[in-house]
């Protein structure tokens, strides 16, 4: 269906307010604060924010923006926020908050403004689980359009492999129901292409029959980092597919929500999540428990709804700076370099330096192909720093020094961990064919380039 928005010949704000049902605000006006991203460090000064209430609102916004030479970006939570300036209208999806669970079909229909924790809590009473990421406070749709790497990715594959359909508004304002059978090329490109092909208003996903898991995290003193990292690296080389893991150097601030044993000092977290029976899962992690004395042992049988405890990512908004890369291997040089730059005595300003182990089900092709290009990656390195005194100015250069040192093993980036807007950064998420196909699809569905506002794939320059 194509929605036609009549031209009024007035300014964009008047046109938007006349055409959409949702609230339209400009920076500084009451209500604008609802659009401040989770990552409060990202400059957010759009021409206007449209709190869309329907696909028709999204379509009208895209058409009006195009007519006035503005671009359009989209946010739900701002976990992956990108800088916005006066040339861009921000579609904010928080009012698209519909959520329907179908326990018989084992599916959920999720509005674009819904966060993972809500889906997980609504599915739990039915013994069902939605495959969210490490931070269930992030948005479902933003996560899935970046493919979604959850804490069970080695066992269950990419979260986007469990998508059934999307409701999409293309860049030219067409409202489409996208499934593997209808608009198959869009179904391929929406899983990995972020907002390149349009703005998703809702998604239908599979729910899996999982009510609990064995996992959580072991926390060690920073002084044990070398021993724990070495043991984890060797142990995680040949893990069975029921087991998922990551390791992180943490330097958490002394805030009330941080457990005192972890606050204000360097610690090491070994995250673990297994869907095997608890005895098998416990036996597998036993060697890691014995490497050193954990200062907190938070691994146990847990309800699936508590899966956010595996990574214990922050929930409150923060001024964060993130950098990331996929690694081909985690050899002795990589390990030693990482510890030298971020381990004990390094004065690292990062709050998190994390390595996730991939492989398993993630490495296998899914039933329906997608624009995800790095199934063969073995590891993912992710750093997070807080842009606040006294370390603010040191965070980005230090992250760059880590990424520079990892360059020989760096094999690209994940769409979800790449809130970058330069063509080089965006290209690092894809192979050449995928870039070309995504770009060609974008030319077809967004000929005026109205979505060229952020992390979108376009290999041609605007005219």
Contact assessment for residue 330 and residue 233, using Cβ atoms and an 8 Å cutoff: yes
Q: Which of 41, 55, 128, 195 binds ligand FAD (CB under 6 A)?
A: 195
Q: How far apart are CA 276 and CA 357, in angstroms?
A: 18
Tell me if 173 contacts ligand FAD by CB under 6 A: no
- Measured from the CB atom, the residue of 48 and 231 that comes closer to ligand FAD is 48
Question: Least distance from C-beta 103 to ligand FAD, angstroms?
Answer: 26
| Nearer residue to ligand FAD within complex by CB, 5 or 134 | 134
Q: Which residues pair with 178 in a beta bridge?
A: 166
- The structure tokens 């080089």 sit at 424
Residue 108: strand pairing partners: 101, 205
Query: Are the beta carbons of 77 and 118 closer than 8 angstroms?
Result: no
Kindly list the distances between the CA atom of residue 174 and the CA atoms of 94, 198, 271, 272, 311, in Å, as whole numbers in the listed order.
Answer: 21, 9, 43, 43, 39
Environment class of 265 (CB within 10 Å of its CB; exposed 0-12, middle 13-18, buried 19+): middle
Binding residues for ligand FAD restricted to 107-166, rule: CB under 6 A: 112, 133-135, 138-139, 141-143, 145-146, 148-149
199 or 262, CB closer to ligand FAD?
Answer: 199
Phi, psi (rounded to 5 degrees) for 279:
-65, -45
Q: For ligand FAD, which is the closer residue by CB, 139 or 215?
A: 139
Q: Which residue is nearest to ligand FAD (CB)?
A: 142
Asked if 203 is part of the footprint of ligand FAD (rule: CB under 6 A), the reply reads no
Peptide linkage before 390 cis (omega within 30 of 0): yes
**Shortest gap between Cβ of 11 and ligand FAD (angstroms)?**
26
Which of 81, 95, 101, 309: binder of ligand FAD (CB under 6 A)?
A: 81
* Binding test (CB under 6 A) with ligand FAD, winner from 44, 61, 71, 93: 93
Residue 353 Cα distances to 10, 343, 370, angstroms: 50, 9, 29
How many residues interact with ligand FAD (rule CB under 6 A)?
A: 33
Binder among 19, 35, 76, 250 for ligand FAD (CB under 6 A): 76
Q: Which residues bind ligand FAD (CB under 6 A)?
A: 37, 74-82, 93, 112, 133-135, 138-139, 141-143, 145-146, 148-149, 194-195, 199-200, 313, 416-417, 454-455
């Amino acid at each position: 269906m194509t929605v036609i928005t009549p031209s009024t010949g007035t300014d964009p704000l008047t046109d938007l307010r006349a055409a959409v049902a949702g609230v339209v605000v400009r920076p500084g006006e009451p209500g604008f604060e609802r659009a401040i991203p989770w990552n409060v460090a990202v400059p957010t000064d759009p021409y206007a924010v449209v709190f869309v209430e329907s696909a028709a609102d999204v379509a009208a916004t895209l058409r009006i923006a195009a007519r006035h030479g503005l671009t359009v970006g989209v946010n739900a939570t701002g976990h992956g926020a990108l800088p916005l300036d006066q040339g861009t209208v921000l579609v904010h999806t928080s009012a698209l908050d519909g959520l329907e669970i179908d326990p018989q079909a084992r599916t959920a229909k999720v509005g674009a403004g819904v966060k993972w924790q809500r889906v997980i809590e609504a599915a739990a009473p039915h013994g069902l689980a939605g495959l969210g990421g490490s931070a269930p406070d992030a948005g479902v749709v933003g996560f899935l359009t970046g493919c979604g790497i959850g804490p069970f990715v080695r066992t269950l594959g990419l979260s986007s492999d469990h998508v059934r359909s999307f409701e999409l508004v293309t860049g030219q304002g067409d409202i489409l129901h996208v499934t593997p059978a209808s608009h198959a090329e869009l179904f391929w490109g929406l899983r990995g292409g972020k907002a390149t092909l349009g703005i998703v208003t809702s998604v239908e996903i599979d729910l899996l029959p999982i009510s609990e898991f064995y996992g959580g995290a072991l926390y060690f003193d920073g002084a044990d980092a070398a021993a724990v990292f070495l043991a984890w690296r060797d142990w995680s080389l040949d893990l069975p597919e029921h087991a998922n893991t990551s390791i992180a150097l943490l330097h958490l601030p002394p805030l009330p929500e941080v457990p005192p044993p972890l606050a204000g000092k360097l610690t090491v977290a070994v995250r673990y999540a297994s869907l095997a029976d608890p005895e098998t899962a416990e036996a597998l992690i036993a060697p890691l428990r014995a490497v050193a004395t954990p200062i907190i042992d938070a691994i146990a049988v847990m309800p699936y709804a508590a899966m956010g405890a595996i990574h214990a990512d922050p929930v409150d908004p923060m001024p964060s700076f993130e950098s990331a890369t996929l690694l081909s291997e985690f050899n002795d040089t990589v390990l030693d370099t990482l510890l030298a730059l971020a381990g004990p005595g390094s004065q690292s300003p990062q709050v998190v330096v994390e390595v996730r182990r991939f492989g398993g089900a993630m490495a296998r092709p899914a039933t329906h192909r997608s624009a995800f290009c790095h199934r063969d990656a073995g590891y993912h390195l992710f750093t997070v720093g807080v842009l606040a005194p006294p370390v603010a100015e040191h965070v980005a250069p230090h992250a760059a020094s880590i990424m520079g040192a990892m360059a020989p093993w760096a094999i690209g980036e994940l769409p979800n961990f790449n809130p970058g807007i330069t063509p080089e950064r965006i290209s690092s998420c894809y192979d050449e064919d995928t870039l070309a196909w995504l770009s060609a699809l974008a030319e077809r569905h967004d000929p005026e380039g109205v979505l060229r506002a952020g992390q979108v794939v376009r290999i041609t320059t605007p005219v």
